[in-house]
Amino acid sequence: MRRHLLAALCGLALLAGPAAAQQEVRPAIVFDMGGRFDRSFNEAVHRGGQEFQRATGIQVAEFEVTAEPQREQALRNFARRGQDPIVAVGFAQRAAVETVAREFPNTRFVVLDSFVDLPNVRSVLFREEQGSYLAGMMAAMASRSGRIGFVGGMDIPLIRKFACGYVQGARAVNPQIQVFQNMTGSTPAAWRDPVRGSELARSQIERGADVIFHAAGGTGRGVLQAAADAGRLGIGVDSNQNHLHPGHVLTSMLKRVDVAARLAFEEARAGRFTGGRQVLGLAEDGVGVAFDEHNDRLVTAEMRQRVDRARAEIVAGRVSVHDFMTDNNCPVN
Amino acid sequence: MEAALDLIVPILAATLRVATPLILAALAGLFAERSGVVDVGLEGKMLAGAFAAAATAAVTGDVWLGLGAAILASSALALLHAFACVTLRGSQVVSGMAINVLAAGLTATLALAWFRQGGQTPALPPDGRFQPIALPGAQWIAEVPLLGRLVVGVLGGHTAPVYLALLLVPLAAFVLWRTRFGLRLRACGEAPGAVDAAGVSVAKLRYAGVMIAGLLCGTAGATISTAQGAAFSTDMTAGRGFIALAALILANWKPWPVLWTCLLFGLLDAVAIRLQGVPVPGLGVPFPVQAVQALPYILTVILLAGFVGRAVAPRAVGIPYVKER
């Protein structure tokens, strides 16, 4: 009975929708572990939500997950309170989103970095390998020693995908370049151990690496710190981290989760929200490398030119970057 | 030979760096448990220390004030532990775990409320961090063939807490085994009744043991956030307190063995970092890092099972002392 009533109400809402042109939305974001101000992934989503809030005056509700069981609770609470659409940040929320999205088929969900096959869920995936490819090219061009490094967070296929794109880009510039790869650990704690991150970076620096790319969340702060302390270069990830150590961060591989979140809210408001898979790559400006006043002295004109050319070729499909997650294998290492 | 040194020197230097907070925390556990109070709250006290150090150093720009704040914060938790365990005669394991949970939540909440960076503190300026200290006379020692490079490479260029930790081991051994205070403290952990019969206050000694543990844990925490790292971030101690506890058990509650087991765990960690992704000769596959990471725990379990020697805890550890009438 209640379901029928709900369906009827929804129908009414749909009828009323076009008249108002814009639908009322009550957006919400559930952050992953690491928190809203991690200067990285979560913070980027937070910024996207804030942009939407500033532009429309609509309050974006937020929740920071600090323990595993909270994910499902947080999503369910938001759905029950009528928040819609709800953005869930991070691959770790996949199972929780799947469960709650089934319970609330009329609430729209967005899951970042993972795929949930339900009609009311939009799964936003990024072509990290393409952005990492450009970062790898820049690292290879900036390296004087012919040795560069990569520090990943938790050892999962997604992070291997970053590493694989990075190596491919570096090899495209210098086929002989040596790339050291380290993963911080195999548990979620690997995202929050800056001390271990800096040890890993130091071990790579001692072996001769002079540019180190991290894809390790909070652990990466230690990586960038160690690179800056040793007078080498780091490469940031997800958000623009060039400002953390100006002059010591070559660039940052951007993952525009802020755009993904903002788009979802805006489209929901305009009544154009769609479920299904959305893949954002270089062509959609979903990934990229950061250039700003903090790294302009590090980036040469040649570097900029080659990166722009590679970007155009990837967008045009003339260069294809292998995606580790398609076959759990990397052709180079 | 030069090539071997190139490999060995950085690994040994990393061993010392990684082992430092473990040594400090394990010595903390040593004092608490030798006095008869189980201390599973090492992790929480370290975390509180790490936060207090990074927060104070970020605001004042002075690393030593940071260290002072770390010791204060950690000692406050230690006092709580002593009050619960000695005065109220509560369960020592429960009190220790409560301290861990309290510290994890409190540091994250305070960091969020004070600095608005999601449980992190701002990155520290150079004066807010322990800087590497050059070994005095390094250039002359380095002249000595082979050995010189080894000494300078491994022992030189560390931060103050590394040297402090190394100096504290003989000091702890001296205090616990060669002074009246140490003897009485150990007696508290073995036969508190005898100490009481001799007219010495068990409660006072146990308070002293737990408070010394607080002091050392604070130093360990400051090491993590202001010597090894350059900011506090949520849960940054990442289980080091429990590794230190494992080292303490493996060391049979003795100061010098504490140094060796902590260095062993540090070495395992340093080797795991170095060997990750390196194909094992003859095997062809990359080195299984998880196996190395699990080794400290496996070693402890094997020891507790009685395969290599025996771990003998202080006899009265974990039992609240009730004065006989």
Confidence check: pLDDT of B82 > 80: yes
pLDDT score recorded for residue B162: 96
CB neighbours of residue A110 within 10 Å: 28
pLDDT score recorded for residue B60: 94
Task: Enumerate domains of chain B plus CATH numbers.
Answer: 2-128+147-304 (1.10.3470)
pLDDT score recorded for residue B86: 93
Residue of A nearest to B104 (CA): A66
Confidence check: pLDDT of A15 > 60: no
Whether omega for the bond prior to residue B314 falls within 30 degrees of 0, making it cis, is no
The reply to whether B118 touches chain A by the CB within 8 Å rule is yes
Give chain B positions within 8 Å (CB) of A200. 273
Across the interface, of A37, A66, A180, the residue whose CB is closest to B120 is A37
A37, B117: Cβ pair inside 8 Å? yes
Give chain A positions within 8 Å (CB) of B117. 37, 39
Across the interface, of B116, B274, B293, the residue whose CB is closest to A203 is B274
Q: Which of residues 243-262 of A touch B (CB under 8 A)?
A: 244
Residue of B nearest to A36 (CA): B118
Q: What percent of chain A has pLDDT over 90?
A: 72
Q: What percent of chain B has pLDDT over 90?
A: 59
pLDDT band at B15 (very low <50, low <70, confident <90, very high): very high
A94-102: average pLDDT: 94
A123-134: average pLDDT: 95
The reply to whether A32 touches chain B by the CB within 8 Å rule is no
Per-range mean pLDDT, top range of A185-189, B1-5, B72-76 = B72-76
DSSP for B108-150 reads HHHHHHHH-SSS-PPPPPGGGSPPP-PPTTHHHHTTSTTHHHH
pLDDT band at B284 (very low <50, low <70, confident <90, very high): low
B275-303: average pLDDT: 72
User: Residue B243: which residues within 8 A CB-CB, separation 6 or more?
Assistant: B22, B265, B296
Chain B: give the shortest CA distance to residue A142, in Å. 24
B interface mutation test: which of A40, A147, A195 has the most B CBs within 10 A?
Answer: A195
pLDDT score recorded for residue A18: 43
The reply to whether B119 touches chain A by the CB within 8 Å rule is yes
The reply to whether B137 touches chain A by the CB within 8 Å rule is no
pLDDT band at A94 (very low <50, low <70, confident <90, very high): very high
Per the listing, tokens 């790869």 go with: A181
pLDDT score recorded for residue B164: 96
Give chain A positions within 8 Å (CB) of B17. 199
Q: What is the pTM of this model?
A: 0.85
The two tokens of residue B99 are 């301290």
User: Residue A86: which residues within 8 A CB-CB, separation 6 or more?
Assistant: A27, A28, A29, A30, A75, A78, A79, A107, A108, A109, A110
Task: Enumerate domains of chain A plus CATH numbers.
Answer: 24-126+258-280 (3.40.50.2300), 128-255+300-327 (3.40.50.2300)
Whole-number average pLDDT of chain B: 89
**In this predicted structure, which of B70-79, B87-96, B227-236 has the lowest mean pLDDT?**
B227-236
Q: Which residues pair with A254 in a beta bridge?
A: A238, A288
pLDDT per residue as tens digits for the range A49-82: 999 999 999 999 999 887 788 899 999 999 999 9
ipTM of the complex: 0.86
Query: What gap in Å lies between CA B303 and CA B315, rounded to an integer?
Result: 18
Q: Provide the strand spans (E) within A54-197.
A: 61-64, 86-88, 109-112, 121-126, 147-154, 178-185
The two tokens of residue A103 are 């319970």
pLDDT score recorded for residue A14: 45
The sheet with strand A28-31 has its strands ordered as A61-64, A28-31, A86-88, A109-112, A121-126, A276-280
